[in-house]
Amino acid sequence: MSRISERFRQLTARDRKALIPYIVAGDPAPSVTVPLMHRLVESGADIIELGVPFSDPMAEGPVIQQGHERALKHGVSLQSVLDMLREFRQADRDTPVLLMGYANPLMHMGYAVFVEAAAAQGLDGLLTVDIPPEEVDDINRELKRAGMDNIFLIAPTTPGQRIEQITGRASGFIYYVSLKGVTGAGHLDTAQVAHRLADIRRYSDLPVAVGFGIKDAASARAVAEVADGVVVGSALVSVAAQVVADGGDAAAAIDAAGNLLLAIRQGIDCIAS
């Protein structure tokens, strides 16, 4: 069983929802990323989603786009993201980590080379925004060989038949995109999400996490009522960037992101009580 599946199994047993923070590797600066990952774990993260910076992040809203641009200005590459993962793993062998990014850097490194290097650094899963099921076979072959999960997106526009096509190739969990739009958009409709999750569960027993548009404890709690996990990205990227823009140092940025995640964790955990 993969570290991601094992983590969901443990959470289910404890009646706890997965909290999955997303940060851009190397943002606001490369030296911040590993300590920030540890802080996120201390603040209640169950799985960490690490964004791989790309020059053309088509699915991202302005907040995460700027995170990608800042990381690229620091010269962060796919290789340096793997180096960060290795450093993280020296102190944390348990928290599942997945990379979220775009096809080109992976393809440029070569799928087989990437997967072998990533497996050696302890990567658990991969979510590639622009590799839908139609284009996924080549990289899936490599991921399967390494026992790594491929996390797929399902969107509000995905019809039933496609859901089946996607879940048949997915492992670890399903990432449901809560709205039509880019990351960080502000028009989350929880009732609609609940309705769609019921559709997905008709086709798959995989856990379903929900992302896009979740920015605080209240929206996280509302989504956690119906989902197995909650992804929070833009809000964390934004709060850390704001601290730095206001003249704060790395420790202050890490504190700000950690505190926000902690508040969200508490919001989600209220459901059980």
Partner 1 sequence: MSSSTDETLFHVVPDEHGRFGGYGGKYVSETLMSALVELETLYRRLSEDEAFQSELDEDLATYVGRPSPLYEAHRWSAVVGGARIFLKREDLNHTGAHKVNNTIGQALLAKYMGKRRVIAETGAGQHGVATATIAARLGLECQVFMGEEDIRRQALNVYRMKLLGADVVSVTSGSRTLKDAMNEAMRDWVTNVDDTFYVIGTVAGPHPYPMLVRDFQCVIGREARAQSLVQIGRLPDALVACVGGGSNAIGLFHPFLEDADVAMFGVEAGGHGVDTDEHAAPLTAGSPGVLHGNRTYLMQSADGQIMETHSISAGLDYPGVGPEHAWLKDIGRVNYVVANDDEALEAFHTLTRVEGIMPALESSHALAYAARLAAQMSSEQTIIVNLSGRGDKDIHTVAALDGIEI
Pairing of strands 18-24, 229-232: parallel
- Return the range that interacts with partner 1 (CB under 8 A); candidates 16-24, 88-96, 154-162, 253-261: 154-162
Q: How many residues does the chain have?
A: 273
The SS3 of residue 271 is coil
Binding-site string for partner 1 from residue 170 to residue 189, where x marks contact by CB under 8 A and - marks none: -------x--xxx--x----
Q: Considering only residues 204 through 223, tell me which ones interact with partner 1, judged by CB under 8 A.
A: none
Lookup result for tokens 């910076």: 53
Q: Scanning residues 233 to 272, which ones bind partner 1 (CB under 8 A)?
A: none
Contact pattern for partner 1 over residues 92 through 111, marking x by CB under 8 A:
----------xxxxxxxx--
Q: Judged by CB under 8 A, does residue 112 bind partner 1? A: no
State in angstroms the smallest separation of the CB of 107 from partner 1.
Answer: 6
How many other C-beta atoms are found inside a 10 Å radius of the C-beta of residue 38? 17
135 is catalytic: no
Buried b / exposed e along 180-198 (16+ C-beta atoms within 10 A): ebbbbeeebebeebeebbe
The window from 17-25, 61-69, 89-97, 235-243 that contacts partner 1 (CB under 8 A) reads 61-69
Going from the C-alpha of 246 to that of each of 80, 110, 253, the distances in angstroms are: 27, 40, 10
Contact 179, 188 (CB under 8 A): yes
Stretch that binds partner 1, among 4-12, 16-24, 146-154, 220-228 (CB under 8 A): 146-154
What does the alpha-carbon distance between residue 256 and residue 260 come to, in Å, rounded to a whole number? 6
Binding window for partner 1 (CB under 8 A); candidates: 1-9, 153-161, 203-211, 213-221: 153-161
- Respond yes or no: is residue 49 known to be catalytic: yes
Among positions 6, 12, 31, 62, the unique one binding partner 1 when judged by CB under 8 A? 62
Residue 69 sits at φ, ψ, to 5 deg, of -65, -40
What angle separates helix 111-120 from helix 137-145, to the nearest 10 degrees? 30
Amino acid letter, residue 188: L
Q: How far apart are CA 127 and CA 87, in angstroms?
A: 21
- One of 69, 199, 255, 269 touching partner 1 (CB under 8 A): 69
Asked if 56 touches partner 1 (CB under 8 A), the answer is yes
User: By CB under 8 A, how many residues form the interface with partner 1?
Assistant: 44
60, 87, 116, 142: the catalytic one is 60
Given the rule CB under 8 A, which residues bind partner 1? Answer: 54-62, 65, 69, 72, 77-79, 102-109, 129-132, 134-135, 152-159, 162, 166, 177, 180-182, 185
Which residues does the annotation mark as catalytic?
A: 49, 60
